[in-house]
Amino acid sequence: MYTTELDKKAADSRVVEVGIDDPQQLARFEARVAADDFIEPNDWMPETYRKTLVRQMSQHAHSEIVGMLPEGNWLTRAPSLSRKAILLAKIQDEAGHGLYLYCAAETLGVSREQMIDALHDGSAKYSTIFNYPTLNWADIGAIGWLVDGAAIMNQVPLQRTSYGPYARAMVRICKEESFHQRQGFELMMHMVNGTPDQREMAQDALNRFWWPSLMMFGPPDDKSPNTERSMRWRIKRDTNDDLRQKFVDATVPQAELLGLTVPDPNLRWNEERGHYDFSPIDWEEFYAVVRGEGPVAQERMQARRKAWDDGAWVREAAASYETKHASARIAA
Amino acid sequence: MDKALFEYLLRLGDDSLVLAQRLCEWSSRAPTLEVDLSLSNLGLDLVGQAQLLLGYAGEVEGQGRDEDRLAYHRDAEEYRNCLLVEQPNGDFAQTMARHFLFSIYRELLLDELVGSSDTRLAEIAAKAVKETRYHAELASDWVIRLGDGTEESHRRMQDGLDWFWRFVDEMFAVDEVERVLIERGIAVDPAVTREAFDARVTQVVKSATLEVKPSTWPQTGGRQGNHTEHLSTMLAEMQVLPRRYPEATW
Ligand SMILES: [Fe+2]
Ligand SMILES: [Fe+2]
Ligand SMILES: [Fe+2]
């Protein structure tokens, strides 16, 4: 997931900088995209398309990496050896997703180092969901079930996104995310069938993660001015509100199956619409979290920066060793 | 119950489990994404080994304790791992020094255990030795890269080796429990692998432009349950949920 437009201001100012594209090339490009052709790294593309993609893909990559932190918080306390193995493997998958997406974004002429710098200096965003804390073991289940679940809603359509390397990355990532989603749901099921304490943990996790999960789909459509263009370019294939509704419709029956209560008194099936109605989202909170004021936003960034800074000497050593031995090989 | 075999399996299983737990602490903290991925691989191998070894230990004991019961409901003095694996991660060079020394010891041991007269143990060893060979290779590569990298990495890598060397002899010590099993052809006398260990270590350390400074006073006791201060803290964190909610299954 994590591909919603969070830093619109930055994007818009960049759009202004962009020169006028050659109208003939632009027309050819638009026609290819409209025909569901894949655009490849060496193909001509409008500068705005490239920049929007770099932003969206790097934001997605950052989300995978930052998303390792809330789950990593429980890795050393996983309550059985098999749960520990499952969680370790899941977090490892997310690291792999991050790596895969950084590589795909690099095909657009930006380096991994540049993207990571942008994350660390706060100019790049990542999904708001990871700025919420994980407070009990059921949160690990709730994240798999809801967060990976929301990610899938958003990413399945992106398997047909117009940029080839991104679409291909999504195919592989989606497979693993659905596996995570099932594992998360299984963990929740185990918790609700457990002791009263475990049931309580599960309900508490749902209470805290429900609304932030709905916020993962980004601002409402009337506050997403670039949606129309992104959809025309097949960078986005559904609107935020459509995806959010789809997620609610799919998830509420699952909560019922778990015997848990979704924390929304206005949640009810609307026969006429064929959808669930739900309360309005607290957009004040959403925008505060986007601004970096989420409950543990500062801790998340501090942890990322610390890992990066602490590892600087290792990266330097590896580079120095490479250089030494590359020149030794040439000399030999 | 075969008490000696139970003890021996705890020693092997606890080595894997405790080191895996230490590696879990690296999650999201590695110098690069690639390193994060490879440390997770090492951790996953070790958790898997711990499950097999402790699971078998529980069966040998025959008291209905499974691998989780053994992992989560024993106190530090009931743990039988060597002291090396419970030592804190330190910086990346220390973690690699620890992994380097342990994995070479363990690879050589498992290589021999493949021929154990206990077929179940031999099977576990056959699976684990492949993983451990890769661990030893990966750690050796890092020892060389860091030793022969920059001035700073050289210093840190040397410090890491110096820091852990006092825990090496313990891995090769044999007590009465193992003596009996060695005679029965179940356990391996680690002394027979010591020469190979020294040779492997010396070769890697030399190409890393580092040196081994033997310590005069080796630290021992882990196999008998006399641990360093670090183990009980580690277990307190690892065991918190099963201890707090003994009725629950997870
Ligand atoms: Fe994702
Ligand atoms: Fe992911
Ligand atoms: Fe995932």
**Centroid of ligand 1 to alpha carbon of A127 (angstroms):** 10
Q: Which of B31, B32, B50 sits opposite A81 (nearest CB)?
A: B50
Q: Contact B47/A307, CB-based, under 8 Å?
A: no
Q: Which of B28, B234, B20, B211 is nearest to B132 (CA)?
A: B20
Chain A contact present for B88, CB below 8 A: no
In this predicted structure, what is the pLDDT of residue A19?
61
Structure ipTM: 0.97
Q: Which of A149, A282, A300 is nearest to A220 (CA)?
A: A282
**Centroid of ligand 2 to alpha carbon of B131 (angstroms):** 26
CA distance B184 to chain A (A): 31
Q: Considering the entire predicted model, what is its pTM? A: 0.95
Residue B114 has pLDDT above 70, yes or no: yes
DSSP type of residue A163: B
| B152 interaction partners in chain A (CB closer than 8 Å) | 313, 316-317
Contacts of A225 (CB under 8 A, 6+ apart): A8
In this predicted structure, what is the pLDDT of residue A303?
97
Chain A contact present for B48, CB below 8 A: yes
Q: Which of B75, B67, B83, B80 is nearest to B3 (CA)?
A: B80
For the segment B93-108, what is each residue's pLDDT rounded down to a tens digit?
999 999 999 999 999 9
Contacts of B177 (CB under 8 A, 6+ apart): B4, B7, B8, B223
CATH of domain B3-212+223-244: 1.20.1260.10
Q: Contact B145/A96, CB-based, under 8 Å?
A: no
Chain B contact present for A79, CB below 8 A: yes
Once rounded to an integer, what is the mean pLDDT over residues B39-66? 98
**Centroid of ligand 1 to alpha carbon of B93 (angstroms):** 32
Q: DSSP characters for A89-156?
A: HHHHHHHHHHHHHHHHHHTTT--HHHHHHHHHTT-S---GGGGS---STHHHHHIIIIIIHHHHHHHT
Chain A contact present for B25, CB below 8 A: yes
Once rounded to an integer, what is the mean pLDDT over residues B51-57? 98
Residue B216: strand, helix, or coil: coil
- Put simply, the chain B residues between 160 and 219 with a CB less than 8 A from any chain A CB are none
Choosing among B17, B18, B19, B27, which should be mutated to test the A contact, i.e. which has the most A CBs within 10 A?
B27
In this predicted structure, what is the pLDDT of residue A226?
80
A72, B11 Cβ separation under 8 angstroms:
no
| Residue of chain A nearest B16, judged by CA positions | A81
| B35 interaction partners in chain A (CB closer than 8 Å) | 311, 314
Q: Contact B250/A80, CB-based, under 8 Å?
A: yes
Q: Which of A197, A203, A259, A81 is nearest to B247 (CA)?
A: A197
Q: Which of B32, B37, B250 sits opposite A315 (nearest CB)?
A: B32
Residue B91 has pLDDT above 50, yes or no: yes
Looking from the CA of B93 toward its CB, the CA atoms found within 13 Å total 28
SS3 labels along B6-39: HHHHHHHHHHHHHHHHHHHCCCCCCCCHHHHHHH
Q: Which amino acid is at B61?
A: E
In this predicted structure, what is the pLDDT of residue A10?
45
| Nearest listed ligand to the Cα of residue A148 | 3
**Rounded to whole angstroms, how far apart are CA atoms A74 and B210?**
37
In this predicted structure, what is the pLDDT of residue A21?
83
Chain B contact present for A72, CB below 8 A: yes
In this predicted structure, what is the pLDDT of residue B59?
98
User: Where are the alpha helices (H) located in B62-89, listed in sequence order?
Assistant: 67-72, 83-86
Q: Which amino acid is at B46?
A: L
Q: Which residues in chain A land under pLDDT 70?
A: 1-19, 331-332
**Centroid of ligand 3 to alpha carbon of B35 (angstroms):** 19
| A313 interaction partners in chain B (CB closer than 8 Å) | 150, 152-153, 156
Residue B176: strand, helix, or coil: helix
**Centroid of ligand 3 to alpha carbon of A25 (angstroms):** 38
Percent of chain B with pLDDT over 90: 97
CA distance to A55, A274, B177, per residue, from A4 (Å): 10, 25, 61
**Rounded to whole angstroms, how far apart are CA atoms A21 and A300?**
39
